[in-house]
Amino acid sequence: MALKPSSFTPITHLQIPISHTQFLRPTSVFPSPSFPTKLLSYKLHSPRKSSVCTNSLKQETLQNPTPSSASSNKLVLVTGGTGGVGQLVVASLLDRDVKLRLLLRNPEKATTLFGEQEEEKLQVIKGDTRNSEELDPSMFEGVTHVICCTGTTAFPSRRWDGDNTPERVDWEGVRNLVSALPRSLSRIILVSSVGVTKSNELPWSIMNLFGVLKYKKMGEDFVINSGLPYTIIRPGRLTDGPYTSYDLNTLLKATAGERRAVLIGQGDKLVGEVSRLVVAEACIQALNIDFTEGQIYEINSVPGDGPGSDTEKWKELFKSAQLQ
């Protein structure tokens, strides 16, 4: 799909993206320091299923796609899994029966959104990416894919309490995580931001007053130079959610309203807004599309029907961005 100038938000009306992560709640952590003892076991309370977003879908909900045989071979680690985009990533992957492991500073924040689930389906580990000494290699045993959704606000806020600044989260946290990951990893998906290559230009320089774009770019560069297979997703200003006070069933029913059509670009030229549901679906789709490896994509959503969870439509979108 070729991007048309009319599809872009004028720079004078640009609403700058502010990073994402909110929180949630679940069971107790086992006492011993070894990996299995840090896992939280869950049982699914309510078996409810539901789809997310280009060119063609009605995104009525996060939608009960048929599990593929590849799903059973994956173990996806999600960081920032209780934040605005991360919670939608987790809900959608759970709905697709993909095995998950969450790395959370406070594991008790998990159950509020995701309910109690079997350990075979969801494992929760206590750890803080900002502190490298908390990232034991055993935490990543068996992990095949990683989706990193960690982030904080661009400007000082209560979210910065406890040393939760862009430097600590978007740079040091990403560096520590990537350094600890196994070299056998099939893919890491990093959620970054549009504008990271333009942090000295207006209006991006305003957003970057406290360094959020600079540190996100440093995180990107570390991923790129790590030797791990990667895909970087740069969303525009985030809309829809976060749904931090709701449960899994609510997440699975979340919609992007009229903004279901997806625009994907490269070269940090795309500006505008994007639904969190669209970003979450882009991350999940990129896990399974081989040619997205080693690529960086900007992503927006606009009024119209979109691709939902249709992998073929997402392939067309990602490919069209690379052909521009």
- From 292, 300, 287, 293, select the one nearest 316 (Cα to Cα): 292
How many angstroms separate the CA atoms of 311 and 88, rounded?
A: 18
- From 57, 101, 102, select the one nearest 82 (Cα to Cα): 102
Model confidence pLDDT, tens digit, residues 145-203: 999 999 999 999 888 988 999 999 999 999 999 999 999 999 999 999 999 999 999 88
For residue 242, cis peptide bond before it (omega within 30 degrees of 0): yes
Model confidence pLDDT, tens digit, residues 111-150: 888 988 888 999 999 999 999 999 999 999 999 999 999 9
State residue 246's pLDDT score. Answer: 79
State residue 73's pLDDT score. Answer: 87
Q: How confident is the model at residue 96 (pLDDT cuts 50, 70, 90)?
A: very high
State residue 242's pLDDT score. Answer: 83
Check pLDDT > 50 for residue 61.
Answer: no
Range with the poorest average pLDDT among 43-52, 96-105, 155-164: 43-52
- Local structure of 305: helix, strand or coil: coil
State residue 71's pLDDT score. Answer: 61
36: its two tokens: 């299995």
pTM equals: 0.79
Q: Which string of DSSP letters, residue by residue, matches 166-199? A: HIIIIIIIHHHHHHHS-TT-SEEEEE--TTGGGT
Check pLDDT > 70 for residue 68.
Answer: no
State residue 238's pLDDT score. Answer: 93
CB atoms within 10 A of CB 5: 6
Phi first, then psi: what are they for 314, rounded to 5°? -70, -35
- Local structure of 44: helix, strand or coil: coil
State residue 6's pLDDT score. Answer: 36
- Local structure of 56: helix, strand or coil: coil
State residue 247's pLDDT score. Answer: 81
CB atoms within 10 A of CB 141: 12
Q: Which residues contact 120 (CB under 8 A, 6 or more apart)?
A: 99
State residue 302's pLDDT score. Answer: 93
Q: How confident is the model at residue 324 (pLDDT cuts 50, 70, 90)?
A: low
